[in-house]
Amino acid sequence: SHVLASFISTKVVVVHRKVMNYEHLHAGYHNKGLRVMQEADSVISPHNLMYPLFITEEVDAKEHIDSLPENYRLGLNQLVDFVAPLVENGLHSVLLFGVVGADRKDEKGSFADDDENQVCKGVKLLKETFPDLVVACDVCLCTYTSTGHCGIMQSDGYFDADASAQRIADVALAYAKAGCDIVAPSDMMDGRIHFIKKTLEDAGMSNKVAVMSYSAKFCSCFYGPFRDAAKSAPKEKKDGEKENALIPKDRKRYQIPPGSRGLAMRAVARDVQEGADMIMVKPGMPYLDMVRDCKNEYPHLPLAVYQVSGEYAMIYHGATAGAVDLKEAVFESITAFRRAGATIIISYYTPRLLTWLKE
């Protein structure tokens, strides 16, 4: 009994010590300096931020986007004046999207790499004016196709796979020749990274432009305001047109199902194998688990996350309604991306963040 009592006493002491150690966690973050040390891996700097810009054909336009408050469709004559104060405030990188009218759209998205394309002109203008600004170009066909889909759609409602991937590669090459630093294919066509890399190599540009792949792009309801901004939603038939019931009205056949971790990681693995220089998860907040999975699997690759338009609007309107504090909510969301492993954060809040980071 004496031995048993001694054993029980020893165990109680051990358990008591463990509890005491856990109870004193507060010692490690009880003041601001200590808290900064605890969050070192989640620090946010301007170099982490990339700002999406919409460039429209109307050269003098500065059109407010109602569904995306504080953001605009900009014409080329407005672009420099809009970007200049942001660069002065620390803006490091931008992501360009083209916006065109219905008269520019056809089945193959021909205007995407046309000599008159405003994205190509915008790249040249930005690089001439701000040579140190990192300019990325979204590479997709949805803005430029009459179907509103991201590849070349066949009459049976499926893509011509190789033709679609090659079109994406041709557009990427046009942006590369214009002088961009990064091409960012968002189309989700099978094999497009391979086609882009091969096309760049054949043109002698394989070492002059990086490829940031939208690798894990999920089929999400949070893209709504963007599709309004870019006029890129899948198209309904026009009056007088014969509807092809086989053409899908959504992008479920090629964007990843929201619940599929396996498909997402296979898509990322494919893009890495084909030569992607950077990978991306999109959207952001609902897919933080995928951000961490990608970081764990590919720790040495730059990892981007896109805080998409619906996420932006949700926080913005929540703050407008008084449900959350805007600054605190934005910083918490951006910190979550950094904590999950993202090194590049594409956000419509970038202008505000650049100012807030200096406060």
Q: Which residues are annotated as catalytic?
A: 217, 282
What tokens appear for 34 in the block?
A: 């200590």
Q: How far apart are CA 182 and CA 236, in angstroms?
A: 32
Q: Using CB atoms within 10 A of its CB, is residue 80 exposed (0-12), middle (13-18) or buried (19+)?
A: middle
Q: How far apart are CA 356 and CA 330, in angstroms?
A: 10
Neighbouring C-alpha atoms within 13 Å toward the C-beta of 132:
7
Locus of tokens 């900009």: 74
Q: How far apart are CA 55 and CA 96, in angstroms?
A: 7
Query: Residue 157: which region, alpha, beta or left (left: phi > 0; alpha: psi -120 to 50)?
Result: left
Q: How far apart are CA 300 and CA 298, in angstroms?
A: 6
What DSSP string describes 219-242?
--GGGHHHHHHHT-SPPPPPTTPP
* CA separation, residue 24 to residues 18, 21, 36, 196, 329 (Å): 10, 6, 18, 54, 29
- What beta strand segments (E) does 241-357 contain? 278-282, 303-307, 344-347
Q: Residues with Cβ < 8 Å from 161, sequence gap 6 or more?
A: 151, 189, 190, 191
Query: Residue 240: which region, alpha, beta or left (left: phi > 0; alpha: psi -120 to 50)?
Result: left
Q: How far apart are CA 192 and CA 209, in angstroms?
A: 16
The closest alpha carbon to 172, from 112, 95, 131, 126, belongs to 112
